[in-house]
Amino acid sequence: MSDILSQLFQVLESRKGADPDSSYVASLYAKGLNKILEKVGEEAVETILAARDAEVSGDSQALISETADLWFHSLVMLAKLGEHPDKVLAELERRFGLSGHDEKASRSHKH
């Protein structure tokens, strides 16, 4: 996993014992899964709108920022549910291998 995803996820895990008044992530955990899912949905919509704007304007700054918000809240969702983002990356890696792009994974799949 990329270093920043790994380090950020460690911080998200550490926020499970933090004070909700001093940590945004701890405040999301305290509000519960429904609030986290609401944020994921909100950020997904904002990402879609930013992508539309980026196509028209040619400026992708807002798109990058909204996508970062979406990824961040998705990581909070996984942390809340006790799942590790490495599993998501492993699933992408598996599909990449199945599609034949990864020659090594593709060969070992045939055996």
Q: List residues near ligand PRT by CB under 6 A.
A: 8, 11, 15, 23-26, 39, 69, 72
Q: Minimal distance in Å, beta carbon 53 to ligand PRT?
A: 17
40, 75 Cβ separation under 8 angstroms: no
Q: Minimal distance in Å, beta carbon 11 to ligand PRT?
A: 5
Q: Minimal distance in Å, beta carbon 26 to ligand PRT?
A: 6
* Residue number with CB closer to ligand PRT (27 or 111): 27
Phi-psi region of 23 (alpha: psi -120 to 50; beta: other; left: phi over 0): beta
CA distance 45 to 38: 11
